[in-house]
Amino acid sequence: VSNAGVGMAGPLECQSLAAMQSLMDTNFFGLVRLVKEVLPDMKRRRGGHIVVISSIMGLQGIVFNDVYAASKFAVEGFCESLVVQALRFNVAISLVEPGPVTTEFETKLYEEAERADYSRTDPETADIFTNLYLRNSKDVFASLGQTPEDIAEHTLRVIEAARPPFRHQTNVAYTPMAALKHADPSGALMTDAFYKLVFKYDAVLRLGLR
């Protein structure tokens, strides 16, 4: 089970390349190192199961989560490419894709975001992040967040499945969000829906979440 991960949220201009590289080293290359260690023996035994804790953000990017989403997209692409070869050796790969999970991980991330210096971006972007994104994110976690125990139960079901799924989303509230992307290959439908949700109907979004 690959579960190590770090988060990053905020305006792109305010994040250093070193911090981005560190995040990728944990979220993506940490998984790659693990798979390189366990896969050869699994192939020799012609049996095994690699379970990767990914994220719904590996399927759909979220505003102000650019680098974190990129790391999870990398995880998804890596596993999607590897799974076909692995199946030849009777090795299963499963991606568990949670939405928001209420843990100290997220609490610390948002506390740091509230204290951060946003002088390297323009005032409008800083205002959107601090007064729109952070406020809405708290409502999202309060309304839709799952417990770590719930994610553990989902993961256990994937591990115990007779035919393990390649992808398993833990929160049905995010199924429509992922479906938008597949409904319109041009990306226009998804982009327009998210733009309106963030910038036009954010009050309705917060009311609905509450």
Q: Given a cut of 80, is residue 165 above it in pLDDT?
A: yes
- What per-residue confidence (pLDDT) applies to 204? 63
Cα(39)–Cα(62) distance, integer angstroms: 32
What domains sit in the chain, N to C, each tagged with a CATH number?
Answer: 12-209 (3.40.50.720)
Cα(143)–Cα(137) distance, integer angstroms: 10
Q: What is the tens place of the pLDDT at every residue in 7-34?
A: 899 999 999 999 999 999 999 999 999 9
Q: What is the tens place of the pLDDT at every residue in 185-194?
A: 899 988 898 8
Q: Which of 5, 11, 12, 10 is nearest to 58 (CA)?
A: 5
Cα(207)–Cα(210) distance, integer angstroms: 5
By percentage, how much of the chain surpasses pLDDT 90? 62
Say how many residues make up the chain: 210
Cα(58)–Cα(70) distance, integer angstroms: 7
How much is the average pLDDT of 37-61? 96
User: In this structure, are residues 62 and 19 in contact, taking their beta carbons and an 8 Å threshold?
Assistant: no
What does the block give as tokens for 100? 């928001």
* Average per-residue pLDDT for the chain: 90
- What per-residue confidence (pLDDT) applies to 176? 79
Cα(158)–Cα(153) distance, integer angstroms: 9
Phi, psi angle pair for 96, to nearest 5°: -95, 125
Q: Given a cut of 90, is residue 49 above it in pLDDT?
A: yes
Q: What is the tens place of the pLDDT at every residue in 87-127?
A: 999 999 999 999 888 888 777 877 887 788 899 999 999 99
Q: Given a cut of 60, is residue 209 above it in pLDDT?
A: no
Q: Given a cut of 80, is residue 63 above it in pLDDT?
A: yes
Q: What is the tens place of the pLDDT at every residue in 128-153?
A: 998 888 888 877 777 788 899 999 99
**Residue 68 bears catalytic tag:** yes
Cα(27)–Cα(36) distance, integer angstroms: 15
Q: Which of 4, 179, 168 is nearest to 92 (CA)?
A: 168
List, in sequence order, every beta strand (DSSP E) within 46-203: 48-53, 91-97, 167-169
Q: Which of 68, 110, 118, 195 is catalytic?
A: 68
By percentage, how much of the chain surpasses pLDDT 70? 96
Q: Given a cut of 80, is residue 36 above it in pLDDT?
A: yes
